């Protein structure tokens, strides 16, 4: 058998290695238009920022080492330009010499990846404007920062890469402005969690501009003028475009392969394209979202590597393993904070008309009495029908990754909120509390699910009528330091003795700092004859952060 693979890095290289492990006698050829076949794409920002100092550590495998270990013919700087599916051949071009030739195949695997978006904005080809997608881009950016007296950088786009680059530029001592067209950072995350991280970014001296678009660039001396849609002009020494990517489907389109509704290469559950002898993996393919059922594309290394293994199994053994899709689990370091997501955000569930409940909790990363416990915010989304978990988002300083991994695993396995309650963790004071934040998220969700806890959200304060009661159950000193306008204050520890101050027959909206005291107050009132009592999910602190971000 002869296998051709177009594109290396995550999907293609993992497919090739697995093919060899399954078939020692096959002829395997990888075509890669770049110079490198397997490198740490996600590590590129940290090399630019000097966190990773040795460039060679970015490379997982060299072409020579890959060939030596796996006996695979690796052809770098060689681009496949055409597929002839009838003759089962591809046309390739050696980029250095210009030589054009054909290569036949029995099975073809496409792993062309994605390409950065460069919209037709006037002046976008100006010197000093970069995108970051590969090692070549990285070398250009690093060289430019070192040799061009760069002091001011504008990062356009506040996605995962944009935020990582902003942090690394900042750590190099540069003045950084982030421009984001949306009303929040990190589009896969819901606004309340994003708002927490936005405030942290601003605390670092970053100029974060949301709901702002760039309309043009121009060179002025050695600097770049960045023109905004409000007429303002920013001056930068360098600009990084991080406004997203799109699947590279050019070969697939040329070959007449089916393109899906998400504009990626359509594949079936075996990662097989519309041509039975052509498979595809990685950033260019689309598949069914296991939560919404809609077609989606994911630009993540983890799924691409897993797809490569599954694809090789199916190519060699004959469609024996199904790919069950990705729930887009992702995490990013943003200065001192960590924020991550798994599953489908509430805003996207709304768009898909999927009914759901959102619950937000705040807990320490480990036991409060052990030094350096840090607060983390966990938002989970679940079905009101059966409690099935639909998504999880976490923002915090310590222990975010391990909680996100647990929640991601549960979402992928169609687990429900009761599984969070029963989650048994490794507990010692330096690592967690006897009730882990995962358990706490489950406890609160169960109370909501069983109607022991009625909640309202930060953006529903304006729905409170003048005849309703807004009740602050924090301590007097907390209330005096800051409150929601119109609230009366009865601390939770005094509420039993002051029931006569709360009118019967009114709808009561309670809040405390984080949600726990509000829940306790609600339980007291509901068992004392007050029927319509709601508690602010996420508490006063989350409301304060979200409303502050909206007013900027």
Catalytic residues: 42
Give the per-residue SS3 of 197-229: HHHHHHHCCCEEECCCCEEEEEEECCEEEEEEC
Pick the closest to residue 3 from 88, 87, 95, 121 (CA basis): 88
Which residues touch 292 (CB under 8 Å, ≥6 apart)? 344, 348, 349, 352, 354
List the beta bridge partners of residue 202.
none
How is 348-412 classified by DSSP, letter by letter?
A: HHHHTT---EEEEEEEESS-TTSTT--EEEEEEEE-TTT-BEEEEEEEESSSHHHHHHHHHHHHH
| Distance, CA of 149 to CA of 208 (rounded, Å) | 23
| 462-to-368, 516, 541 alpha-carbon distances in Å | 35, 22, 17
Helix axes 400-412, 437-449, angle to 10 degrees: 50
Across 47-198, the runs of DSSP E, i.e. the strands, are 59-61, 73-75, 78-84, 89-94, 100-104, 107-110, 114-116, 129-131, 152-156, 175-179
Cα–chain center distance at 28:
34
């Amino acid at each position: 058998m002869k296998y051709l693979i177009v594109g290396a890095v995550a999907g293609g290289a993992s497919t090739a290695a697995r093919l060899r492990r399954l078939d020692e006698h096959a002829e395997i050829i990888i075509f890669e238009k770049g110079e490198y076949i397997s490198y740490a794409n996600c590590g590129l920002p940290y090399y630019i920022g000097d966190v990773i100092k040795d460039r060679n550590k970015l490379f997982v495998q060299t072409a020579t080492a890959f060939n030596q270990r796996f006996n695979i013919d690796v052809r770098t700087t060689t681009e496949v330009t055409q597929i002839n599916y009838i003759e089962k051949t591809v046309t390739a071009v050696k980029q250095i010499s210009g030589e054009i030739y054909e290569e036949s195949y029995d099975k073809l695997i496409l792993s062309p990846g994605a390409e950065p978006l460069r919209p037709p904005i006037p002046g976008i080809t100006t010197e000093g404007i970069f995108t970051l997608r590969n090692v070549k881009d990285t070398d250009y950016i690093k060289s430019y920062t070192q040799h061009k007296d760069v002091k001011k950088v504008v990062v356009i786009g506040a996605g995962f890469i944009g935020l990582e680059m902003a942090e690394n530029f900042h750590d190099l001592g540069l003045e950084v402005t982030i421009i984001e067209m949306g009303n929040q950072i990190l589009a896969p995350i819901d606004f309340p969690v994003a708002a927490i991280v936005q405030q942290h970014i601003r605390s670092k001296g970053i100029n974060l501009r949301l709901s702002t678009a760039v309309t043009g660039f121009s060179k002025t001396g050695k600097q770049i003028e960045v023109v905004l849609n409000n007429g303002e002009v920013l001056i930068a020494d360098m600009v990084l475009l991080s406004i997203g990517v799109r699947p590279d489907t050019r070969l697939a389109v040329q070959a007449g392969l089916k393109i899906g509704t998400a504009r990626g290469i359509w594949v079936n559950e075996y990662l097989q394209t519309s041509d039975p002898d052509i498979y595809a993996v990685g950033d260019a393919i689309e598949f069914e979202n296991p939560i919404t059922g809609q077609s989606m594309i994911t630009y993540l290394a983890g799924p691409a590597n897993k797809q490569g293994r599954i694809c090789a199994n199916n190519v060699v053994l004959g469609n024996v393993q199904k790919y069950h899709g990705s729930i887009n689990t992702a995490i990013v370091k943003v200065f001192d904070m960590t924020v991550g997501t798994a599953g489908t955000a509430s805003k996207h569930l709304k768009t898909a008309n999927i009914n759901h409940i959102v619950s937000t909790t705040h807990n320490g990363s480990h036991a409060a009495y052990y030094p350096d416990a840090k607060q983390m915010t966990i938002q989970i989304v679940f079905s009101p029908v059966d409690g099935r978990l639909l998504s999880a988002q976490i923002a915090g300083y310590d222990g975010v990754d391990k909680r996100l991994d647990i929640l991601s695993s549960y979402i992928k396995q169609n687990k429900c909120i009761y599984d969070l309650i029963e989650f048994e963790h490794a507990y010692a004071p330096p690592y967690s509390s006897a009730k882990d934040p995962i358990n706490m998220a489950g406890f609160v969700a169960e109370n909501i699910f069983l109607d022991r806890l009625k909640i309202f959200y930060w953006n529903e304060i304006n729905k409170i009528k003048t005849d309703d009661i807004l009740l602050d159950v924090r301590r007097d000193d907390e209330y005096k330091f800051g409150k929601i306008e119109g609230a009366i204050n009865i601390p939770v520890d005094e509420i039993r003795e002051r029931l006569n101050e709360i009118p019967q027959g009114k709808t009561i909206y309670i809040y405390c700092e984080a949600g726990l005291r509000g829940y306790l107050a609600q339980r007291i009132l509901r068992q004392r004859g007050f029927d319509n009592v709601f508690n602010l999910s996420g508490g006063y602190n989350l409301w304060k952060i979200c409303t502050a971000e909206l007013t900027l």
